[in-house]
Amino acid sequence: MSKGGILKGETKQSVKKRHSLISTKSEYEDEGAQPHEKAIAAGQPNPPYCVRNIEQNAFGRREIEIAEQEMPGIMALRARAKDDKPLKDAKIVGCTHINAQTAVLIETLAALGATVRWAACNIYSTQNEVAAALAHAGYAIFAWRGESEEAFWWCIDQCCTPTATWQPNMILDDGGDATHLMLKKHGAAFKNIKGIVEESVTGVHRLYQLSKAGKLCVPAMNVNDSVTKTKFDNLYSCRESIIDALKRSTDLMFGGKQSVVCGYGEVGKGCCQALKALGCVVYVTEIDPICALQAAMDGFRVVKLNEVIRQVDIVITATGNKGVVTREHMERMKNGCVVCNMGHSNTEIDVYALKTPDLLWERVRSQVDHIIWPNGKRIVLLAEGRLANLCCSSLPSFVVSVTAATQALALIELYNAPNQRYKRWTRDQSRRDPETREADVYLLPKKMDEYVASLHLPTFDAHLTELTDEQAKYLGLNKVGPFKPNYYRY
């Protein structure tokens, strides 16, 4: 390829045409029609499940069995609670990433008595073979890797729409899309929901906004801020999977490379630790002085993105914000700079601004695009700015076991709690009592967080020290917990 991305024998017009084809087409669109279109064309507007290829189910089942081995906590919960069936008659709408680990959660919820209908919260993160295995086992799964935007909403709607046999009463959401679709489109059915469990920072933020506007009316559990979830999913998991994602997609060597991580929250901290451990020079950008000071104390240079953008080899966003890396930044990046996002949504890197006729997009591998400038400079964009670790690698199952056990316990708690424990606010009530409006978004009781952790300790043959009566009295604690006040930061 020559400078400017022109192939031998091409005219400027044919380059433009090639560019428009590459830039508007995702690789998955080549896999044929979207499965739901096939179902609709076959006269099945509401199929019992919709996946890419049900024939892949045996392969998917093996993946699920492998995940079960590394998910001791959720398997222990399944074994302990399967006779009590604490989720008997629960009808759960699920909208999360669909992979082998989620399958272990789904099958646990079913073992505890729930019926589920499940869609993906991300168009690229579904493991098709796992979706096939679940569908083959009789679960109502609506998801495939490479869903179109329209298919994405169709899949979620298949789960939310009430029918004669399906009246959902719980939502397990990751990002808030199922909650919002149900609230907007199926308002009457939404009122029958007993509780919402939300996993992501972004989804929790949307819940608080709904709550403030007096529109939530259903108690919601913010599991993102459960200690077990936050530390393990955001910090420890990203610490391992960022490297995996970058290596698998780019074969990059990290030692001596310069990298910048935008956002020094839990995810950013995990990324920075991993990069530093492999010998990277790591810069951090932050808007919050407390997190910036933490970064400085941990030995990272805190900079504005503009100060280092010309020299860095790797740019990672982990802010949960939008427009963090702009076209202007990308104009100034050096040739070969790898750009990826670890935050929930694909708006952190302004990918849209790269879809202009002067730039050539070249798909070099699955989830890896080279964006080529007229002067031949190219940047390496992973997963079109979507969550790099989920799109380019897999998550450590053990960490997902912690999250899954937390989600399952939150569902059990909301589903079984007496009416008064988690309040349902009406629009009028929330108007009258603005100070307490946010009371409908709750945190998981600390004791349950501790229970989730304890379910995972036997894996390490870890032996907890028990408080003596005297020590418990001295600290003013119950001998069986909770061991820390709610405000304690781990």
Q: Between residue 224 and residue 243, which ones bind ligand NAD under the rule CB under 6 A?
A: 233-234, 237-238
Q: Is 8 annotated as a binding residue?
A: no
Angstrom distances, CA of residue 309 to CA of 247, 255, 359, 445: 21, 19, 19, 43
263 binds ligand NAD (CB under 6 A): yes
Considering only residues 64, 75, 201, 316, which one is a binding residue for ligand NAD as defined by CB under 6 A? 201
**Among the listed residues 49, 152, 232, 264, the single contact to ligand NAD using CB under 6 A:** 264
Decide whether 5 or 94 has the Cβ nearer to ligand NAD.
94
Site string for ligand NAD, 279-308 (x = CB under 6 A): ------xxxx--x-----------------
Asked whether position 39 contacts ligand NAD by CB under 6 A, the answer is no
- Tell me whether residue 194 or residue 269 sits nearer to ligand NAD (CB atom): 269
Which of 67, 131, 252, 267: binder of ligand NAD (CB under 6 A)? Answer: 267
Tell me: is residue 138 an annotated ligand-binding position. no
State yes or no: residue 415 binds ligand NAD (CB under 6 A). Answer: no
Can you tell me the distance from the alpha carbon of 188 to that of 162, in angstroms, rounded to the nearest whole number? Answer: 10
Which of residues 266 and 384 has its CB atom nearest to ligand NAD in the complex?
Answer: 266
- Decide if residue 343 touches ligand NAD (CB under 6 A): yes
- The answer for residues whose C-beta is within 8 angstroms of residue 264's C-beta and 6 or more apart is 272, 284, 286, 288, 291, 292, 294, 295, 300, 302
- Is 286 annotated to bind a ligand? Reply is yes
Give the residue with the Cβ less far from ligand NAD, 329 or 378.
329
Residue of 314, 316, 315, 324 whose CA lies nearest to 287: 324
Sequence-separated (6 or more) residues with CB below 8 Å from residue 315: 259, 260, 262, 309, 325, 329, 333, 337, 338, 339, 340
Binding flag, residue 160, ligand NAD (CB under 6 A): no
Among 34, 211, 319, 367, indicate the residue that binds ligand NAD (CB under 6 A). 319
Is 125 or 158 the residue whose CB approaches ligand NAD more closely? 125
Distance CA 373, CA 359 (A): 5
Rg for the chain, CA atoms, rounded: 24
Cα(82)–Cα(134) distance, integer angstroms: 19
| Binders of ligand NAD in range 454-483 (CB under 6 A) | none
Stretch that binds ligand NAD, among 120-128, 153-161, 336-344, 420-428 (CB under 6 A): 336-344
Among 389, 402, 391, smallest CA distance to 241 is for 389
362-370: long-range contacts, CB 8 A cutoff, minimum separation 24: 362/5, 362/22, 363/22, 363/27, 365/249, 366/27, 367/124, 367/249, 367/391, 367/392, 368/249, 368/250, 368/392
> With CB under 6 A as the contact rule, which of the stretches 128-136, 189-197, 385-393, 403-411 interacts with ligand NAD?
385-393
Say how far apart CA 39 and CA 18 lie, in whole Å.
32
Question: By rule CB under 6 A, what count of residues binds ligand NAD?
Answer: 30
What are the Cα distances from residue 193, in Å, to 93, 125, 414?
10, 27, 10
Residues making contact with ligand NAD (CB under 6 A): 200-202, 233-234, 237-238, 262-268, 285-288, 291, 318-321, 324, 342-344, 387, 389-390
**Which residues are known binding-site members for NAD(+)?**
265-270, 286, 389
